[in-house]
Structure 1
Amino acid sequence: MDRLLLDAHALDPHTRDPHEAPAEEAALGALLRCWLREVGGPRGHVHAAGPHLTLRVAGTPVRVRVSGGIALRFDGPPEHLAEGRWRPLDLPSLVALVERELDGGNEEFAAQVRAGREAVAAILAARARAVPPADPWLASEQALVAGHPFHPAPKARSGDGWLDYAPETHARFAPRLLGVRADLVAQEGDTTALDAFGDAPAGYVPLPAHPWQLDLLAAELRGPLADGRLVDLGTGPRAIVPTSSVRTVYDPGTGMCLKFSLDVRITNCVRKNAWYELSGAVELTRRLTPVFERLARSFPGTRWLPEPGYRSAALGTRLLEGLGVIVRSGPWAVCGPGTTPVLAGALAAGADGVPEAVLARRAADPVGWWEAYVERVAFPVLDAFFGHGVVLEAHVQNVLVGFDAAGWPVEAVFRDLEGTKLVSGRHDLTGVPGEVAGPLSFDAARGWNRVAYCLFVNHLAEVAATVAGTADGVLRALWAVARESLERYVTDHTTDSVAPLTRLLAGAPLPAKANLGVRWARAADRAAGYVPVPSPFCEAEGERR
């Protein structure tokens, strides 16, 4: 969360909830960052003025102190010029300015932003009463209280009762268990982990289900439950733990993860497993197994979490998708002895959920720690793209970093095949049904934009900003080291084969995903475009000189 304490007058003076101020801080910071990146910057409405950035929103001057480079960390309260004086800027005022500048046209937007703020306040209140998990990896998964720093409503969630299933509140809950009539089971690959959740009656197959999703699907389930196509077998035998994506959970009993469908909008997407994604996960697991074997030989410490199977019920598309569950390996099964996996998102967000040894090592030797981090994370992502035609979505919620006992990054674990794509023309998809093959592929240009955004803008820029804090000199040193590491990678390849990376190191702008734009347009996440942001490697070049 930003190092930003709001003036008490920016809030409702009757509000006594101690969690309102940090919730407002998080929501205000996220929306303002979106505006700076997607609208103010591209329109030329942002200028440096002493220690501040000043911008105009709907003709109103706004100023804020910023550090962290393209991560845009705020070092003081945003202010707007009103009646000739600089006054604290509150969230309702910023929302009104954004709506006026964008000419209205989205009656849902203000409510979504407010819902995000209210969700953070509710999370903080519940979190204060909860006991964090003893598992250090799960503690990092449940540390993302403020959510995506460049999304206008990162914690807004539709539906009721969501706090009971929220990772940020340290939730644990038992799954429900359904029995699917054997002739109606839809499954591919290895699904044996699902059988560990309980026995089904003769003629039925067990299917664990997310209780929140069953509530959402109650109307559609009445018929199949009434006529015996499904049977409700009650509560599962043990608690499962939600990870940062909300719908993916960890099962301590098997050491596996389960990716459920949730008919809930979280950030830009309704989080259900589309039918083609169910089959696509199994297909990608088969194809990526030899790729990751080669990556691990080239870059020791490279790991991944395969998704070997799925199970659902063949009861029409709505329930096939809504009840579909993907089996995923758990990180403790793939990390080496003595290695502790930590979610990269927690490393980017600050100290919460990060082991003390990692914080101490990072503080003692930030540049050395960062160099090891960049090589562990970036090299296999780049080689997957350039060498194997595979687009890994290496944003901070899809990467776990493995640390040794001394706090050094020694492994990188990549997960979530939903966003993994194959570069068109690099893979033979003969025999894969067209409806499955199509969503698995990106052309090279689209693939590189996704790699560059996720790796450099969403991931490395955010972690670097946290490592550097407010010290601009440290931040420049970190990017100088990153540049030198990436140049070493380039020297091992022909210039033409890594041309997009070479252009980036030469100062080409980076692509940043336009989350404000896609939310304002009320479009699907796949319609999100990119806006250019300045390359941090330009300043890094100056640092080296």
Structure 2
Amino acid sequence: MNRRTGDPHPPGPMESLMPTVPAPPRAATAPSDDRALPPAGAATDPPDVRALPSAGEATAHTLLNCLVREVCGPGHHTAVDGGRLLLRLPASGTRLRVAVHRTGLLGDHRCAGPVQAAGPDGWRDVDWRELGTLVAAELTARTGVSNPEFPGQLASSHTGMAIGLAARAHRMREDGATEDGAIRSADGPRPTADGPRPAAVDTHPAEAANRPAADGLTPAEDAHPADGPTSAEDTRPAERANRRAAYRRYLASERSLLFGHRFHPAPKARGADRRAWTAWAPETSAAFPLRLLAVREDRVAQECAAPGGWDALERPAAGLAVPDGYRVLPAHPWQYGLLRDVPRLREALAAGEVLDLGAGGPLFAPTASVRTLWGDGGFLKFSLNVRITNCLRKNASYELSGAVALTRSLGGVFDGLAARYPGAAVLREPAYRSLALPGPDGRPDRSLLEGFGVIVREGFDGLLRPGVTPLLAAAVADPYATGPTLPVRTAAGRSPAAALDWWGRYLRLLLPPVLSAFTEHGVVLEPHLQNVLIGVDGDGLPVQVLFRDLEGTKLLADRHRDLLAALPPEVAGPLAYDEPRGWDRVVYCLLVNNAAEILAVLADRHPDLEAALWAEVRDVLREFAAGAERPGRVDELLAGAPLPAKANLLTRWARDPDREAGYVRLPSPLTADVLPEATR
């Protein structure tokens, strides 16, 4: 630890980082690199909507974050001096710098303003394109391989950020945002969910003149995905109105991520033309009805782990005349457009194996993952043959069966965790359904089985306590978030004591159930920021956490031999982890991805509090270890074991599958000698 700068990687000789060229002469007006900068660690106003970076700056900052964590930091080629972060790219010798709002004990500094590179005439600004070129040259020299996809991924992510910023500015300018994410109009509040109507959902020109008759299910003009299914027996209108308001704030949190993961080189990359994806994106407040298919029963693949598990797939077609012997299969409209011309599907439509009922039913809205939609009281996780950040977002056949198998087999574990930790719950995935159209070999066509596979995920009813608003953890961790997370910022921002109180409550909800699942049950949960929902009360204080997405849930092979042996090998294999791999995943998601990022937002508000916030993490870990039957590796964390951080930049450069991503090791901010020193 560099005690003077707070950088976790001790710098090499400062002359190796500072430019060897003379500083440019001072002009009558100060040049951009001489503007006033806050000293490292100084108290500053936290970033807010008035200080949003441009898409170009945000793209450059994410690249710098990745360089610090994966390339420059491990070799001690970073330093913080005079309010600036300095880096030297080891292979090329290129020197970079950027202003910092605040330094971080984990090397997670807050960058500000343009990135600069040292050249023959001094420091000069470099935009995100040039920085991407410098990074590509460095990684080519480091690895000996090139990656021609890299510039396009950066450009796609930059476009995604720019579209999100433009959509936000439009809403603020034209309509005025309300706290719950709705917009104001002459008719009063209405949702920002006015995505394409059914006629606009179906963009295939060949079908415009021959549309199946589902328009009777067109949502009402004021419909909203938060409304959920209605009932004539609902006699509690006030309670329903409060729940609807909470759900609208929840959806606004899913839509609020303008820049995404700040330690990923292309966090907003979408492998599709912008004209294709903006109609289906959370950033643009999209909401739309599903495409409804009816599939002959002998052409259906499905599994269910609980009574009523398939109900969420049938409800969107309520009111339609589905023929006997057929099952409803909802499809994501974007995916249907991508697959509708597959020859085997066209044959099935012509032969009546599959009936196209058209677009209709209640509105659904994309969550932050894009492919998982929320509406009608629950979640549906669809496949999308589109590359989003790391990979094509398809539900592989083993993932379809694996989700149901985990829900069935781990029901007792999840129930036990909920009983022991009443503030935590797992959203289970009790069913899936897809097409099973025989291919030439007689087996189901895999591209269609996976392409139309949809997983049912539980909604909030029965899990969320009355008066609680669920918020996406990634939105709470966003330094520029407003709207739905403002109550949290207010509650934690009143004073350092209030921030520590909020933080302690959150840690005691988050850490114990995840650690207990691993140490006592051999279950690897994946509680990264996009997989955790924070339930807050009316004062913005955390009172619940909900864990979602069983795709990342794994089983320690030596603890679940019988369970894994009972599953088909193609399902059991991807579910099994050895203990070191499982522990790395838990610690990365729990401490580095989740806790450290929310801690950073609190430290933005209270810069002198960072060490105390990490000390609270240590205290909660110590409490868990003292009361656990099998504290296991938690004692290693308390002893200062390095923390694993996913190497997103190096993984993307090598074009490795995400499941094979490696980790870099970060010096721990939890060690007993670091925390007292950092508070001096």
- TM category (shorter chain) comes to over 0.9
- Superposition map of 1:82-121 within 5 A: 82-103=119-140, 105-121=146-162
Aligned to 1:14: none
Partner of 1:339: 468
Deviation digits for residues 146-180 of structure 1 (CA, Å, limit 9, x no counterpart)? 01111111111012310000011111011100111
Q: Which moved more, 1:295-304 or 1:145-154?
A: 295-304
CA–CA distance in structure 2, aligned partners of residues 328 and 540 of structure 1 = 41
Partner of 2:315: 196
Could you say what secondary structure the match of 1:263 adopts? strand
CA distance in 2 between counterparts of 1:211 and 1:205 reads 18
Equivalent residue runs for 1:68-467 within 5 Å:
68-70=104-106, 71-103=108-140, 105-130=146-171, 131=183, 132=192, 135-160=248-273, 161-189=276-304, 190-198=309-317, 199=320, 200-220=322-342, 221-251=345-375, 253=376, 255-315=377-437, 316-350=445-479, 351-364=481-494, 365-427=498-560, 428-429=562-563, 430-467=565-602
Shift of residue 348 of structure 1? 0.5
Amino acid at match of 1:371: G
Q: Is the Cα–Cα contact under 8 Å of residues 483 and 540 in structure 1 kept in the other structure? A: no
- Which deviations, in whole Å up to 9, do the C-alpha atoms of 1:468-501 show, x marking residues without a partner? 106442111111111112111111135xx33422
Shift of 1:287: 2.0
Output aligned runs, 1:17-28, within 5 Å: 22-28=54-60
Unaligned runs of 5+ in 2: 1-30, 34-49, 172-182, 184-191, 194-244, 438-444
Identity within the alignment, %: 49
Contact 2:249-2:471 at 8 Å conserved across structures: yes
Is the Cα–Cα contact under 8 Å of residues 611 and 679 in structure 2 kept in the other structure? no
The amino acid across from 2:123 in the alignment is W
Q: Which residue of 2 aligns with 1:469?
A: 604
Q: Which runs of 5+ in 1 are unaligned?
A: 1-5, 9-17
Distance in 2 separating the partners of 1:101 and 1:218: 43
Which stretch shows the higher mean deviation, 474-483 or 41-50? 41-50
Tell me how far apart the structure 2 counterparts of residues 344 and 331 of structure 1 sit (CA, whole Å): 16
Distance in 2 of aligned mates of 1:209 and 1:297:
36
CA distance in 1, matches of 2:626, 2:512: 13
Distance 1:174-1:225 versus aligned 2 partners, 3 A rule: same
Q: Residues 94 and 20 from structure 1, CA distance in 2 versus in 1: closer, same or farther, beyond 3 angstroms?
A: farther
After superposing the two structures, state which structure 1 stretch, 369-378 or 329-338, moved more: 329-338
C-alpha distance after superposition, 1:124-167 (max 9, x if no partner): 22333354466111111111110111111111101231000001
Output the amino acid matched with 1:311: R
Aligned equivalent of 1:15: none
1:7/1:519 Cα in 2 relative to 1: closer, same or farther (>3 Å)?
Answer: farther
Q: Which ranges of 4 or more aligned residues in structure 1 deviate by more than 6 Å?
A: 18-21
Match of 1:60 in 2: 94
User: Any conservation in 1 of the 2:300–2:433 contact (CA below 8 Å)?
Assistant: yes
- Residue identity matched to 2:166: A
> In the alignment, what sits opposite 2:668?
535
Partner amino acid for 1:259? K
- CA separation in 2, counterparts of 1:84 and 1:361? 48
State the secondary structure of the residue aligned to 1:174. Answer: strand
Please give the per-residue CA displacement for 1:500-522, whole angstroms capped at 9, x wherever unaligned. Answer: 22222222211000111111011
Contact 1:141 1:353 in 2 (8 A): no
Q: 3-state SS of the aligned residue for 2:544?
A: strand
Partner Cα distance (1:506, 1:21) in 2: 38
Amino acid at match of 2:128: L
* Post-superposition offset of 1:347: 0.6
Deviation at 1:524, TM superposition (A): 1.0
- Cα distance in 1 between the residues matched to 2:436 and 2:356: 16
Q: Indicate the residue corresponding to 1:3 in structure 2.
A: none
Q: 2: distance between equivalents of 1:75 and 1:380?
A: 36
Q: What SS is found at the alignment partner of 1:157?
A: coil
1:523–1:353 Cα change, 3 Å:
farther
Given that 1:61 and 1:80 are in contact with CA atoms closer than 8 Å, whether structure 2 keeps it comes out as yes
Moved more, 532-541 or 116-125: 532-541
Provide the C-alpha distance between the structure 1 equivalents of 2:251 and 2:425, rounded to a whole number of angstroms. Answer: 18
Q: CA deviation at 1:86?
A: 2.0
SS in 2 for 1:507: coil
Does 327-336 or 159-168 show the bigger shift? 327-336
TM-score by length of 2: 0.75
